[in-house]
Amino acid sequence: MAGVYSANGWGVLRSTDFGSTFTHVGSGASQNTVYGTPKYVYAQSAGASGGIIDQTQSELAPQPGTTWSTWTLTMGNGPKHAAVSYDGTNYIIVGGNWTAGLWRYVEP
């Protein structure tokens, strides 16, 4: 989950005990949106994070989401909402972004 203003800091938080405790597993960047597929966990910064709109804040991690790397995108503002779908071959992420319109990403 996104740890906006959490005691563990901003970024990605993970629980292995159904939400009783959380550990910070992201890079410490200001992501406020987290979503995933069976392959990857994705985290992005968006307009709601104190005005920070920085595509370098986009990261991904192979499941289970503990080893993160920069996710290079051409879109410079992350989603306020994201939905994941599957077309029988690929997972598809659709985002409604703060100032970048609708966005579609087909996971390789």
Tell me the pLDDT tens digit for each residue of 26-38: 776 677 788 999 9
The full set of domain ranges for the chain reads: 13-106
What does pTM read for this prediction? Answer: 0.82
Q: Of the candidates 61, 59, 58, which has an alpha carbon nearest to the alpha carbon of residue 46?
A: 58
Tell me the pLDDT tens digit for each residue of 39-53: 999 988 776 555 455
Measured between alpha carbons, how far is 73 from 78 in angstroms, rounded to an integer? Answer: 10
Measured between alpha carbons, how far is 79 from 23 in angstroms, rounded to an integer? Answer: 24
